[in-house]
Amino acid sequence: MYKLFILTLAVLNFNLSSLAAQNTVIEKSKIVIAHRGASGYLPEHTLAAKAMSYAMRPDFIEQDLVLSKDNIPIVIHDVFLDDVTNVAEVFPEKSRENGRFYVIDFTYDELQQLEVYERFNTKTKKAVYPGRFPFKKSRFKLHSLQEEIELIQGLNKSTGNNIGIYPEIKNPNFHLKNGKDISIIVLKILNDYGYRSKSDHCILQCFDHNELERIRVKLKSELYLTQLIEFPSEIKNIGQIARYANAIGPSINQVFTKDKTGKITYSALVKKAHNIGLKVHAYTFRKDVLGNFKTFEEMLQQGFINADLDGVFTDFPDIVISYVNAKP
């Protein structure tokens, strides 16, 4: 009887603590975001790369979003199709004047006819990361935001985990020029799938400051928002960013700098952000693009520990998760 009581308490306790963990995952001290899925191992943004990253148990899996001609958000890194698919062979007549092929000129059904490859240079036709998944091998397809959410929510159900999504609104101005309001379409889908507030395991990101502010103020989203930052000059507006966003997402070039002796050190950016209540999730940690670092471990040490980042976007979630778990 006593044993049963203890067991019941233990189960109750477990349930309570896992509930608490569910509500605080976004505020967790070090979060790992699978950048375009497990893109270090499989072609970026394919469902295979997402399923593989899921099995590594990151905190979040990222989705970059561009609308199709029929207004379906496609999970793809750029407005272009020609550097990750065989579009130039399947629809040679559909390029624009600059010779490039745009997601927005194709319906979802047309996009389904394309094969997805490892990212490649459109001029040299060579893979950007030659050490990764073999170029043009196996079979991968494009998919919608809805299909990816259903994969992640399905795995959350079947495995009992609670991994979040980290969607990015791509080029809102480009979409507007093509007559489409991508944010309204994406917010509706997120809402339909239960992502509505800061505790819903969804972080919405965008490089466009005006658009992210609009998402908070005019479109009244209560989601956790990350303002992506491409250029150091954008940091001048950090006080304004804190009014509508919960985190900033700078590139690692803004987090790390080299001092006069050539030693890598970190900038004041993270501290500055923390002082006004913003978390910092930096991109992109790649073990095959080390920049000034000698090892990936050194890069993680400098980022997570020395610079005190709250989260990192990485193509190699398994390595970063092992690193985080090994730290006290």
CB of 163 to Ca ion, least distance (A): 17
Q: Which is nearer to Ca ion, 64 or 118 (CB)?
A: 64
Q: Which is nearer to Ca ion, 91 or 144 (CB)?
A: 144
Catalytic residue, chosen from 35, 45, 201, 281, is 35
Report residue 2 CA to chain centroid gap. 48
Beta bridge partners of 210: none
Q: Which is nearer to Ca ion, 204 or 324 (CB)?
A: 204
Catalytic residue, chosen from 45, 77, 143, 201, is 77
For residue 20, give both structure tokens: 């608490």
Q: In this structure, what DSSP letter does residue 127 have?
A: B
Query: Which position has the token pair 């093509």?
Result: 178
Among 44, 64, 200, 211, binds Ca ion (CB under 5 A): 64
Residues 99-158 contacting Ca ion, CB under 5 A? none
CB of 109 to Ca ion, least distance (A): 25
The amino acid at residue 311 is G
CB of 122 to Ca ion, least distance (A): 20
Applying CB under 5 A, does 315 fall inside the site for Ca ion? no
What's the CA gap between 196 and 210, in Å, rounded? 21
Q: Return the closest-CA partner of residue 227 out of 255, 201, 251.
A: 251
Q: What are phi and psi of 248, to 5 degrees?
A: -115, 155
Beta bridge partners of 164: 60
H or E, element range at 266: strand 264-266
CB of 223 to Ca ion, least distance (A): 16
Q: Which is nearer to Ca ion, 91 or 142 (CB)?
A: 142
209 is catalytic: no
Q: In this structure, what DSSP letter does residue 142 have?
A: -
H or E, element range at 279: strand 279-285
Q: Which is nearer to Ca ion, 91 or 170 (CB)?
A: 170
x/- contact string, 152-181, with Ca ion (CB under 5 A)? ----------------x-------------
CB of 22 to Ca ion, least distance (A): 25
Nearest residue to the partner Ca ion, using Cβ? 168
CB of 249 to Ca ion, least distance (A): 8
Long-range contacts, stretch 128-137, CB < 8 angstroms, 24+ apart: 129/40, 129/288, 131/288, 132/40, 132/41, 132/288, 133/41, 133/42, 133/43
How many residues touch Ca ion under the rule CB under 5 A: the total is 2
CB 170 within 8 A of CB 185: no
CB of 244 to Ca ion, least distance (A): 19
143 is catalytic: no
- 103 three-class SS: helix
CB 294 within 8 A of CB 285: no
Q: Which is nearer to Ca ion, 91 or 246 (CB)?
A: 246
Q: In this structure, what DSSP letter does residue 114 have?
A: P
Q: Which is nearer to Ca ion, 281 or 287 (CB)?
A: 281
What's the CA gap between 190 and 146, in Å, rounded? 9
Q: Return the closest-CA partner of residue 249 out of 264, 219, 275, 270.
A: 270
Active site residues: 35, 77
- Please give the residue ranges that form the binding site for Ca ion (CB under 5 A): 64, 168
